[in-house]
Amino acid sequence: MKKLLFILLFISPFCLKAQNTSVQSMGDATYILNEKKVTKAELDAVPASDIAETKTVNGAFTVLTKKFAIAAYQEKLSQLCDSYESYLTGHGTEDDTIAYDLDGKTLPKDAIGISILYHLPKDKIADAVFTEKEPETSKFAVRIVITTKK
């Protein structure tokens, strides 16, 4: 027990120093907002409620907004499904009434679902089928069923 305590006391200063170093280096970070380099001030201006995803990649702090991600996957799916594109053209790009099924599972209508569709490569999609008539028990007006290549 004393040996374990000694090891923890010996290692903890190094762990704290590593944490402090990483926090200090964020001041020099590159900031990417919706695939474009921006200033920290521009990034700070984005309301938290608009953010779909944040991550650090190769030293760059990246932020993806919901609006940008939705527009990107709508464009991708429109290229694969003419009826979906026609629906968006006629009804606008509001995404709240559209259900997205991916390989048999309905995606959540939150940042996670948005990120999944955004990151889904077009070349991995085997089929996209759009239907406008939903059962009365559904809260969605339309549905797009996406099947990926195995």
Mean pLDDT per 10-residue section of the chain, whose length is 150 residues: 39 40 55 95 94 92 95 95 91 87 95 96 95 71 91
Identity at 140, one-letter amino acid code:
F
Alpha helices by DSSP H, listed for 26-136, are 40-44, 66-80, 82-91, 111-119
Per-residue CA distances from 30 to 15, 39, 98, 116, 138 (Å): 25, 8, 35, 24, 43
Q: What does the pLDDT read at residue 7? A: 37
Q: What does the pLDDT read at residue 1? A: 41
CA atoms within 13 A on the CB side of 109: 9
Q: What does the pLDDT read at residue 133? A: 72
Distance CA 73, CA 121 (A): 10
Torsion of CA 108, 110, 116, 122, to 10 degrees: 90
* Residue among 119, 85, 86 nearest 102 (CA): 119
CB 79 within 8 A of CB 122: yes
- Number of residues that make up the chain: 150
Q: What does the pLDDT read at residue 10? A: 40
